[in-house]
Amino acid sequence: MRMHLLVEHVLRTAEEQGLWLPHDTIIVAVSGGPDSVALLHIMHEISQRHMPLKLICAHVHHGFRVESDEEALMVEHMAAKLDIPFVMEAVDVPAYMIKSGKGTQEAARDKRYEFLIKTAMKYGARSIATAHHADDQAETVLLHLLRGSGPSGLIGMKFNRMIKNVELIRPLLRIYKTALVDVCENEGLVYAIDESNLQTKYRRNEIRLDILPFLGQYNGQITQALNQLSNVMTAEDDYMEQAAAKLYHELVRKVGERFTFSVSSFSDLHVALQRRLIKLILNYMSVDSELTDYNKIETLRDAITQKAPSTWSRDLGGGFVCIQEYDVVTFQPKSFMQRVRYTYQLNAVVPELKVSEIGKILRMVVYSREQKSWSRAELQGHEAVFDADQLSLPLTLRCRQDGDTMKVMGLNGSKKVKDILMDDKVPPSIRAQIPMIVDGNNQMVWIPGIRRSIHAPVNQHTTSILHMSLEDA
How many residues would you count in the chain? 473
pLDDT band at residue 356, thresholds of 50, 70 and 90?
A: confident
CA 310 to each of CA 119, 326, 327, 334: distance values in angstroms, whole numbers, following the listed order: 54, 7, 9, 20
Residue 24 CB contacts under 8 Å (≥ 6 apart), including other chains: 53, 54, 125, 126, 127
Does residue 126 have a pLDDT over 80? yes
Report the binding-site residues. Answer: 31-36
Report the binding-site residues for ATP. Answer: 31-36
Q: In what order do the strands lie in the sheet with 160-163?
A: 86-90, 54-61, 25-29, 127-129, 166-169, 160-163
Q: What is the pLDDT of residue 288?
A: 55
More reliable by pLDDT, 27 or 434: 27
Looking at every residue in the chain, the average pLDDT score rounds to 89
Tell me the CATH number for domain 343-472: 3.50.40.10
Quick: pLDDT tens for 232-266. Answer: 999 999 999 999 999 999 999 998 788 999 999 99
Quick: pLDDT tens for 136-155. Answer: 999 999 999 988 888 888 99
Quick one: average pLDDT of 114-130? Answer: 95
Please tell me the distance from the alpha carbon of residue 149 to that of residue 303, in angstroms, as a whole number: 22
More reliable by pLDDT, 355 or 290: 355
CA 42 to each of CA 29, 50, 208, 322, 380: distance values in angstroms, whole numbers, following the listed order: 13, 11, 25, 50, 64
Please write down the HEC assignment for all residues of 303-348: HHHCCCCCCEEEEEECCEEEEEECCEEEEEEHHHHCCCCCEEEECC
More reliable by pLDDT, 285 or 273: 273
CATH 3.30.465.60 fits 252-336, yes or no: yes
Query: pTM of the predicted model, to two decimals?
Result: 0.72
Please tell me the distance from the alpha carbon of residue 54 to that of residue 290, in angstroms, as a whole number: 38
Q: What is the pLDDT of residue 287?
A: 45
> Would you say 364 and 350 are in contact if contact means Cβ atoms under 8 Å apart?
yes
Looking at the chain, the number of H-run helices and the number of E-run strands are 15, 22
Q: Would you kindly state where each structural domain of the chain is located, as residue ranges?
A: 3-229, 252-336, 343-472
Spatial CA neighbour of 435 closest among 445, 449, 447? 447
Quick: pLDDT tens for 106-115. Answer: 888 888 999 9
Q: What is the pLDDT of residue 434?
A: 87
Quick: pLDDT tens for 292-328. Answer: 678 888 999 999 998 776 788 888 888 888 999 888 8
Does residue 225 have a pLDDT over 90? yes
pLDDT band at residue 167, thresholds of 50, 70 and 90?
A: very high
Show the beta-strand stretches assigned E in 17-102: 25-29, 54-61, 86-90
Quick one: average pLDDT of 368-390? Answer: 82
Percent of the chain residues topping a pLDDT of 70:
95
Please tell me the distance from the alpha carbon of residue 78 to that of residue 52, in angstroms, as a whole number: 20
Tell me the CATH number for domain 3-229: 3.40.50.620
Q: What is the pLDDT of residue 63?
A: 66
